[in-house]
A and B are shown apart, each in its own frame.
Chain A
Amino acid sequence: MRGQTTHPDTDVLAEFHAGLATGRRGARIAAHLAVCDRCSALRDELAGVSALLAAVPAQAMPDRVAQRLDSALAAEVARRTDSERARGDSPRDRGTAARPAGRRGLRLLSLRVLAPAAAVVLAAAGYGLSQLPHGSGNLASPSSGVAGAAKPASRANIPALTPSSGAAARAEPERMSPASFPFLTSHTNFMPGTLKQQVEAALRMAESARATQAAPAAVIACVRHVAGSANPLMVESARYQGQAATIIVMRTSKGDTALVAGAGCSASHGQPLATTTVP
């Protein structure tokens, strides 16, 4: 490229340093470097660039980004679970919707992806879904702030929520065990901005964790206050914005509605701190 008498330019020296100048060209540059202080100093400086870059510490990922990625990941996990279930579900599953009471919540959860028609079967089979016209009233009455978020918009294509189709199930609640809902404790810190994704992830967790704990009496009292006699899909004892909280997920016609109850939630108090609906 360059004659012996000319100084190679910085690019050429950098290529030489990276091992790219070989053969006669490489030999010529090497010979020049041996006699030229200016160029050998430049070569050293180029080597120093790599050393400088290697020495710059990488900064840790900011918390804000980490939280965002965690939420995105939770959504991905939920999406995968959903699509796997959609593939795995067969008509036979619908026919056998009546399951032992202990897995009631889990079955309901896994039926999320079925057509509304399947909900009719469930309600008629006495799963307490018919409670929802009442249940949504229960949600609204102690806590008017929740009413807007939790009240199911009446959708004509969900006959399960009409009184007639629910009639068969209305006698059921008395026979339900008082705590027959999946209950978990976790260290999850639910946050307002990511509540929906976190609830979705929590529902997956509740489903994959086949064995759930028995809920403490205080939690049951809180659930009864918030949910009435309807059985939640899932109850999780966790944190909300850093404070102890109970996350109660109910089925409504719009999807699964999560209510966040604070530490003071009891049989007589239970103004939800937040709600979100997972379609």
Chain B
Amino acid sequence: MRDAGEQWPSDAELLRRHVAGDDQAFGELFRRHRDRLWAVALRTVCDPEEAADALQDAMVSAFRRAADFRGESAVTTWLHRIVVNAALDRLRRRAARPALSAGDEQAFEALAGPAGDPAHTTDVRLDVDTALRILPPQQRAALVVVDMLGFSVADAAVILDISPGTVKSRCARARARLLPHVSHLRGNRSASESVSPAQGGDT
């Protein structure tokens, strides 16, 4: 398997090659973005097993529907859109099921893994991940895409298939709702400021 770091064929070129029948191109493209795609799936569904299911659904869907990509947006935006859709789909399907148990949380923590972070970073991450669960899925997806992954409101609107105004209002309501649950983290400025945003494998 090749390193995901190489960027020499562009995303769009890899997708073209895939559509043209190249068996390797899609794998290369997907590996290039999979950590970010994993992050968006995991944080949207808040459950590692469901996130893996959603990501697999999305990957298969993107593989099969690649010819539909028309280049109106970046390939990554398109990929994220498919992943978010698959994640929200999973959430809708399990909507009738009860909320997460403590066991899920332990599984989540185990899967999330230490990843070599300083202890306080892991704590912040786990606290944030826990806090995100209180949000309604649509708000959470918007907040993850905009605030956590750093997409512009315009790109987020494409990913979420809603208007830019709706992206803004969902994010605003999500931040307001999240505030009481993360203010203790935010109060600890050394914790939030010492964490590099570039960390986490998305070069």
Chain A residues in the interface with B (C-beta under 8 A): 10-11, 13-15, 17-20, 45-46, 48-62, 64-66, 68-70, 72-73, 76-77, 80-81, 84, 204-205, 208
Tell me the dominant secondary structure on chain B's binding face.
Answer: helix
User: What residue in chain B is nearest A81 (Cβ atoms)?
Assistant: B23
Tell whether, in the assembled complex, residue A49 and residue B179 are in contact, meaning their CB atoms are under 8 Å apart.
yes
Tell whether, in the assembled complex, residue B169 and residue A59 are in contact, meaning their CB atoms are under 8 Å apart.
no
Tell whether, in the assembled complex, residue A46 and residue B179 are in contact, meaning their CB atoms are under 8 Å apart.
yes
Distance in angstroms from B83 CB to nearest chain A CB is 12
- CA–CA, A17 and B189, complex, Å: 21
Chosen A-B contacts, 26 in total, with CB atoms closer than 8 Å, are A14-B173, A15-B168, A15-B173, A18-B168, A20-B172, A48-B192, A49-B147, A49-B182, A52-B186, A53-B147, A54-B150, A55-B124, A56-B195, A57-B117, A57-B196, A59-B112, A59-B201, A61-B38, A65-B38, A68-B52, A69-B52, A69-B55, A72-B60, A77-B26, A80-B63, A81-B23
Tell whether, in the assembled complex, residue B147 and residue A58 are in contact, meaning their CB atoms are under 8 Å apart.
no
Tell whether, in the assembled complex, residue B172 and residue A56 are in contact, meaning their CB atoms are under 8 Å apart.
no
Chain B residues in the interface with A (C-beta under 8 A): 1, 21, 23, 26-27, 30, 34-36, 38-39, 42, 48, 51-52, 55-56, 59-60, 63-64, 111-113, 115, 117, 121, 124-125, 128, 143, 147-150, 165, 168-169, 171-173, 175-176, 178-179, 182-183, 185-186, 192-193, 195-197, 199-202
Given A49-B178, A54-B148, A56-B195, 16 further pairs, Cβ under 8 A: A15-B172, A17-B172, A20-B168, A45-B179, A46-B179, A48-B186, A53-B148, A55-B124, A56-B128, A59-B39, A59-B112, A59-B113, A61-B34, A61-B35, A65-B52, A72-B56
- CA–CA, A20 and B153, complex, Å: 13
- CA–CA, A195 and B56, complex, Å: 19
Tell whether, in the assembled complex, residue B143 and residue A45 are in contact, meaning their CB atoms are under 8 Å apart.
no
Q: Which one of A11, A19, A70 contacts B173 once the chains associate, using CB atoms below 8 Å?
A: A11
